[in-house]
């Protein structure tokens, strides 16, 4: 059933104008998002968009989720990313693969905004090649024990539930990997360090360690050995959301560029605006068509990869032009144009780099490698 696209977009627009925009630059400057903003985002229902009302969610479609993420990202990529990770790669796979008990215990609090999610796949030694992860799990009593480390994990220091991937034995390859639901308060789970980043500075990104973390028997999400499939499926869906975040950053940069160009117009600035307008419209169309395909239950992996690849590429390009059109003031520490450029650069990396999107798309369009 189609959701209230404009309803969610309008709600996000109003919330962003009153609660995010006034502090968007400060979030970046301070390298931190205030807990009060996270709480306001949750109270306003944005942690439940697109999730089933029967499980505590706010309902709505992928198009609604994309609209909300785009609106947040026009002002703050950090806040948009917090919501995107929570919805697309934590709550959505729990909704898809969880048991009724896991829905009650984990999904409902996430969907109602009483809990925040994080997704922990990347490790110090594995990124694009996620199947090479080495965090181990072993049977422990009637449950499991986890040991290892995860790297670049968004929300991991403030999330309540971490969807985390570990292997029974790296020698088993992909078949050894299972998915687990880890409470942040589990003894042995700790944040090793907060990472200092060039962009997306208001979004916390952490390295975490797992030292004999004991989990109960209901902690595994999906069947044993199904973890990598769950992770890659979550990322395929998440790509539509990340593409929408990139689109929002591109729009924020475009709007800033138009303001600056109008203040002191030249033909070169007009051309920058014209090129950016065109790229922004094309990226918007790709995001919309990927979200619509997902909502229709049609194949969406190619459309999602194309949207992510293109929207993240043009976000950097438009932010770069916006920075140049901004002139000397854009080079000042703390400038809006500078932040948008630094933030945009994250999107060709996260949830599958540009090169990985090209591989996914190329294999899907041409066929897999021989042998």
CA distance 72 to 70: 6
Asked whether position 132 contacts ligand FAD by CB under 6 A, the answer is no
Q: What are phi and psi of 162, to 5 degrees?
A: -115, 120
In sequence order, which residues have a C-beta less than 8 Å from that of residue 268 and are 6 or more positions away? none
* Minimum distance of ligand FAD from residue 179's CB (angstroms): 12
CA distance 234 to 231: 5
Annotation says 255 is catalytic: no
Asked whether position 353 contacts ligand FAD by CB under 6 A, the answer is yes
Please state whether 167 falls in left (phi above 0), alpha (psi between -120 and 50) or beta: beta
CA distance 58 to 228: 28
Using the rule CB under 6 A, which residue among 40, 44, 158, 349 binds ligand FAD? 349
Asked whether position 122 contacts ligand FAD by CB under 6 A, the answer is yes
Coil, helix or strand at residue 266: coil
322-358 per-residue burial string, b: 16 or more CB within 10 A, e: under 16: bbbbbeeebeeeebbbbbbbbbbbbbbbbbbbbebbe
Describe the crossing of helices 35-43 and 77-84 by its angle, rounded to 10 degrees. 60
Using the rule CB under 6 A, which residue among 25, 99, 105, 127 binds ligand FAD? 127
Region of 103-111, 169-177, 197-205, 322-330 interacting with ligand FAD (CB under 6 A): 197-205
- Please say whether the beta carbons of 200 and 81 come within 8 A: yes
- Please say whether the beta carbons of 78 and 41 come within 8 A: no
* Minimum distance of ligand FAD from residue 74's CB (angstroms): 19
Asked whether position 85 contacts ligand FAD by CB under 6 A, the answer is yes
CA distance 87 to 18: 22
CA distance 282 to 63: 16
Asked whether position 152 contacts ligand FAD by CB under 6 A, the answer is yes
* Minimum distance of ligand FAD from residue 311's CB (angstroms): 16
Q: Per the residue annotation, which of 70, 204, 279, 351 is the catalytic one? A: 351
Using the rule CB under 6 A, which residue among 200, 286, 306, 316 binds ligand FAD? 200
Residue 53 or 362: which CB sits closer to ligand FAD?
A: 362
* Minimum distance of ligand FAD from residue 51's CB (angstroms): 19
Say how many residues make up the chain: 371
Region of 149-157, 251-259, 269-277, 331-339 interacting with ligand FAD (CB under 6 A): 149-157
Could you give the string, one character per residue 224-253, with x where binding to ligand FAD holds by CB under 6 A and - elsewhere? Answer: ------------------------------
Of 270-309, which residues contact ligand FAD (CB under 6 A)?
Answer: none
284-297 per-residue burial string, b: 16 or more CB within 10 A, e: under 16: bebbbebbbbbbee
* Minimum distance of ligand FAD from residue 190's CB (angstroms): 17
Asked whether position 153 contacts ligand FAD by CB under 6 A, the answer is yes
Asked whether position 350 contacts ligand FAD by CB under 6 A, the answer is yes
* Minimum distance of ligand FAD from residue 150's CB (angstroms): 7
Region of 121-129, 236-244, 290-298, 330-338 interacting with ligand FAD (CB under 6 A): 121-129
Asked whether position 121 contacts ligand FAD by CB under 6 A, the answer is yes
Asked whether position 360 contacts ligand FAD by CB under 6 A, the answer is no
Q: Are strands 161-167 and 117-120 parallel, antiparallel or unpaired?
A: parallel
The rounded radius of gyration (Å) of the Cα atoms in the chain is 20
Asked whether position 208 contacts ligand FAD by CB under 6 A, the answer is no
Asked whether position 154 contacts ligand FAD by CB under 6 A, the answer is yes
Catalytic positions, please?
351
- Per CB under 6 A, residues contacting ligand FAD are 85, 119-122, 127-128, 152-154, 197, 200, 205, 346, 349-351, 353, 355-356, 359
């Amino acid at each position: 059933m189609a959701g209230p696209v404009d309803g969610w977009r309008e709600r996000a627009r109003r919330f962003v104008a009153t609660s995010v925009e006034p502090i968007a630059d400060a979030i970046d400057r301070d390298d931190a998002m205030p807990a009060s903003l996270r709480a306001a985002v949750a109270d306003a229902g944005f942690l439940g968009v697109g999730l089933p009302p029967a499980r505590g969610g706010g309902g709505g479609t992928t198009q609604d989720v994309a609209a909300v993420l785009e609106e947040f990202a026009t002002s703050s990529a950090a806040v948009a990313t917090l919501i995107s990770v929570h919805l697309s790669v934590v709550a959505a796979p729990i909704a898809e693969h969880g048991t009724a008990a896991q829905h009650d215990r984990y999904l409902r609090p996430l969907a109602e905004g009483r809990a925040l999610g994080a997704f922990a796949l990347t490790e110090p030694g594995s990124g694009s090649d996620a199947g090479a992860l080495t965090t181990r799990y072993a049977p422990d009593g009637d449950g499991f024990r986890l040991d290892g480390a995860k790297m670049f994990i968004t929300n991991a220091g403030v999330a309540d539930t971490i969807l985390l991937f570990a292997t029974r034995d790296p020698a088993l390859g992909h078949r050894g990997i299972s998915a687990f639901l880890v409470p942040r308060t589990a003894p042995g789970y700790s944040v090793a360090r907060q990472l200092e980043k060039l962009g997306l500075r208001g979004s916390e990104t952490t390295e975490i360690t797992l030292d004999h973390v004991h989990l109960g028997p209901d902690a595994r999400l999906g069947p044993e050995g199904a973890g990598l499939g769950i992770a890659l499926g979550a990322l395929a869906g998440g790509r539509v959301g990340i593409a929408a975040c990139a689109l929002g950053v591109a729009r924020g940069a475009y709007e800033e560029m138009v303001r600056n160009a109008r203040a002191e117009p030249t033909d070169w600035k007009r051309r920058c605006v014209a090129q950016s307008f065109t790229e922004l419209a094309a990226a918007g169309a790709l995001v919309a068509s990927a979200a619509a395909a997902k909502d229709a239950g049609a194949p969406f992996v190619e459309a999602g990869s194309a949207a992510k690849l293109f929207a993240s590429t043009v976000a950097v390009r438009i932010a770069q032009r916006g920075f140049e059109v901004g002139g000397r003031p854009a080079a000042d520490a703390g400038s809006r144009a500078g932040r948008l450029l630094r933030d945009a650069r994250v999107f060709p990396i996260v949830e599958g780099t540009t090169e990985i999107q090209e591989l996914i798309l190329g294999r899907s369009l041409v066929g897999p490698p021989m042998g």
